[in-house]
Amino acid sequence: MTHTDTDLAELVHQITDTLATAFTAMAIADEEIDRAAREHPADADLLYHALTLLVPTHSLMATGHLLRAHCRELLRRVVNAEDTRPGTAAEVCCVCHDISLATPLSSPAVGLYMRMWTAAGLPSTAIDTGDAAHHETLEAERIDELEADTRRRLAVADRHLSAVSCTGSHHGRTVSCRFAEVHGD
């Protein structure tokens, strides 16, 4: 095998891996949209278009738990007409994880990590729930401030549904969709 062949094989391998990850992420996002639509049938059309918001923003989101938590929080905000730009609990977890690898976390940051871990519905067996309660008792206010600041800093500027256009067809089926009305005649 020449260098070129090896490079090409490696490139194909990387592309295959990347596509597999992207398809898995899209399948998870689709499943979470279906679940949210079953819970909120009146907003099914809105949720259908929310797929564009559910892009993983961190390599750790390749794991199902974090991506599902990320999707669920954003879909909850969509249904409640809340801002979808600020960081999600899953995104805050990813950042806390990255920082913890580089430097010891401050006490409020540990409290934030535990709060976001719990908020994301990640396995409670991975954290000391007594320790988490201890942080909340002693530092709730500082954790509140840190959470607000971190979510703001992690905001994704174009993660919102303000410019949706719809052909009136979802998954190949004609539907009644609030975004299709502008195309009506």
Q: Which of residues 29-48 bind Zn ion (CB under 5 A)?
A: none
Cβ distance to Zn ion smaller for residue 53 or 177: 177
Residue 104 carries which DSSP code? P
Does residue 177 bind Zn ion (CB under 5 A)? Answer: yes
Whether the Cβ atoms of residue 71 and residue 54 lie closer than 8 Å to each other: yes
Does residue 179 bind Zn ion (CB under 5 A)? Answer: yes
Does residue 114 bind Zn ion (CB under 5 A)? Answer: no
Whether the Cβ atoms of residue 166 and residue 183 lie closer than 8 Å to each other: yes
- C-alpha distance across the termini of the chain, in Å: 61
Q: Which of residues 135-174 bind Zn ion (CB under 5 A)?
A: 166
Tokens of 24: 């898995």
Cβ distance to Zn ion smaller for residue 3 or 171: 171
CB of 174 to Zn ion, least distance (A): 10
Tokens of 133: 């309660």
Cβ distance to Zn ion smaller for residue 124 or 167: 167
Cβ distance to Zn ion smaller for residue 48 or 117: 48
Could you tell me whether strands 169-170 and 173-174 are parallel, antiparallel, or unpaired per DSSP bridges? antiparallel
